[in-house]
Structure formats: C-alpha cells, structure tokens
Amino acid sequence: MSNELAGKKVAILVAHGFEEVELTEPKKALEEAGAKTFVVSPEKNEVRGWAMTDWGKSIAVDVPLEKADASDFDALMLPGGVMNPDHLRMNEKAVEFVKEFFAEGKPVGAICHAPWTLIEAGVVDGRMMTSYPSVKTDLRNAGAKWVDREVVVDNGLVTSRSPDDLKAFCPMLIDEIREVARVH
C-alpha cells in the first residue's frame, strides 16, 4: 500500500444499477493508494450494484447525495452500468454535484456509460474522451472528441470504455488526483 493519495477524499457517485466491478475495483485501488473513498448516492442507506448480467451486491451509502458538497472532496469517480448514469442524469442534485467538480478544477473519473451524466452536466464539449461504444454518438453530439482507447485523460478527466479497461483506468485516475494535488 502506498500513501501517494494520503489525506485525499474521493466521492464515488452512484445510483441503483451501477456496474459493480466499476465501483469496487477503483475504490480498492484508490484506498490502496491512501485515499479515503465515500459512496455518495440519492439512496439513503445502501445502493445496489449490477454484476454484468444480474443484480449484484448492495453497498453502504456513506453520504446521502442531498447532504453531499463537492467542496468536501478532492476528486469524483463515476462508475458506469446502464441504469446508474441514466438515473443520475435525471437527478438535478446529482448533475449539480458533478458540475461543481468541474467548476473547481478537480479530477473526475468516468467509465463505461458514466459519460451520460457528464453530458447532462454540460462538461464534455471540446474534450477528448472514450466510453462504452454505444455512448459514442451521444458524446460526439455533445461536442466531445470520442476515441476508441482503453483510457483517455483530458485536463483532469479520465475516461475508459468498460470493465476490461480497469487495469489502465485505475492507475491513471490515481495519477490525475496526485498531479492535481501536487499543483495545488
């Protein structure tokens, strides 16, 4: 375990139906790097994941979205899944929470379908990004430059396509959080 992110707090924003491994693997990697992670959700007590083809485990909610403040965190992680970002992009508080991270210049990681929430937040125009292939047209229509790569970093925003890319995504998200911390 390294302590390169010691003292850093990372919000993981999810609704029911998040792709389980897209939460658990980055969370583990961030914690192994010394960060403290906090599951933030519109749900009050726990939120249920999706494990590839069926409902997965429930995970405790650390901070209810209604009480969450982006200024309390150093970075944001957005797991994918299909249902999760679809619910979040329809939640005004979730969209505002995401916007605040971009307004404050904080690192954000988004994987798979999570860029749907970023599109709703109006923060993708002019950025180079990747995502699950079915989100490509949505990102292009919102002004992003979509590329088919396992991980893309654009000015603090780290994106990946799917769970297959987690081995590339997690270290890049950690690097971006560390870089921003060093600059500030």
CA dist 171 and 95 (Å) reads: 26
Are residues 83 and 16 in contact, defined by beta-carbon separation less than 8 angstroms?
yes
Domains and CATH numbers, the chain: 9-179 (3.40.50.880)
Q: What percent of the chain has pLDDT over 90?
A: 95
Quick check: is 16 catalytic?
Answer: no
Question: What pLDDT was estimated at residue 119?
Answer: 98
Question: What pLDDT was estimated at residue 91?
Answer: 98
pLDDT, tens digit, 9 for 90 and up, residues 77-114: 999 999 999 999 999 999 999 999 999 999 999 999 99
Q: Is the model's pLDDT at 23 over the cut of 70?
A: yes
pLDDT, tens digit, 9 for 90 and up, residues 47-68: 999 998 999 999 999 999 999 9
- Segment 40-49 shows an average pLDDT of 97
Question: What pLDDT was estimated at residue 128?
Answer: 98
Lookup: tokens for 96: 């505002």
Q: Is the model's pLDDT at 1 over the cut of 70?
A: no
Strand ranges inside the chain, DSSP E: 9-13, 18-19, 36-41, 46-51, 54-60, 63-64, 75-78, 108-111, 128-129, 145-146, 151-154, 157-160
Q: What is the pTM of this model?
A: 0.97
Lookup: tokens for 10: 């990372």
CA dist 48 and 19 (Å) reads: 9
Question: What pLDDT was estimated at residue 2?
Answer: 78
pLDDT, the chain, mean: 96
CA dist 40 and 163 (Å) reads: 21
Lowest mean pLDDT among 1-10, 72-81, 115-124: 1-10
Total length of the chain: 184
SS3 of 122-171: the string is CCCCCCEECCCHHHHHHHHHCCCEECCCCEEEECCEEEECCHHHHHHHHH
Find the catalytic residue in 87, 113, 170, 184.
Answer: 113
- Segment 152-179 shows an average pLDDT of 97
Quick check: is 170 catalytic?
Answer: no
Q: HSE, CB side, 13 Å, CA atoms: give it for residue 12.
A: 30
Question: What pLDDT was estimated at residue 31?
Answer: 98
Find the catalytic residue in 87, 112, 170, 184.
Answer: 112
How far does Cα 165 stand from its chain's mean position? 14
Q: Quickly count helices (H) and strands (E) in the chain.
A: 6, 12
